[in-house]
């Protein structure tokens, strides 16, 4: 019976690791692809290259138009959101598994990430 419980716990941990790992891989890969596309388009753009940080509301609308700087901004935004999504998904899984301690820890990590993003954007 104890072996079966350990096996179930191992399966839960593995599935959590797999899900969060996949989120991180997809996020980082997506970010790199978006930024490489932006750099590629920037290389063929005539004239001086400006350095511009776009407001979040404008990033998507300009990235859809394949504006190089918007794509670079979007890549950075995706990279910033990736760990946040990993912790958020882990929190949801812990809630479904009724792991109270890990829910509290995950919510604390989420709070720290949100606060650091707010402080960093000020």
Average pLDDT for 59-85 = 92
Give the C-alpha separation, 31 to 24, whole Å.
10
Encode pLDDT of 9-53 as tens digits: 555 555 888 888 999 999 999 999 999 999 999 888 887 777 777
Q: What pLDDT, on a 0 to 100 scale, did the predictor assign at position 13?
A: 54
pTM value?
A: 0.76
For the chain, the structural domain boundaries read 2-121
CA distances from 57 to 80, 101, 107 (A): 16, 36, 27
Neighbours of 86 (CB within 10 A): 18
- The pLDDT of residue 106 is 95
C-alpha span between 61 and 69 (Å, rounded): 12
- The encoded tokens of residue 93 equal 């899984």
């Amino acid at each position: 019976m104890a072996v079966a419980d350990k096996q179930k716990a191992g399966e839960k941990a593995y599935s959590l690791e797999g899900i969060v790992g996949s989120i991180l891989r997809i996020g980082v890969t997506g970010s790199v692809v978006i930024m490489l596309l932006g750099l590629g388009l920037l290389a063929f753009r005539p004239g001086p290259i400006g350095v511009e940080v776009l407001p979040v509301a404008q990033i998507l609308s300009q990235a859809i138009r394949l504006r190089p700087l918007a794509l670079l901004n979007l890549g950075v935004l995706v990279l910033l959101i990736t760990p946040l999504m990993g912790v958020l998904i882990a929190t949801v899984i812990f809630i479904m598994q009724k792991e109270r301690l890990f829910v509290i820890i995950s919510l604390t990590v989420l709070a720290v990430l949100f606060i650091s993003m707010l402080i960093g954007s000020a």
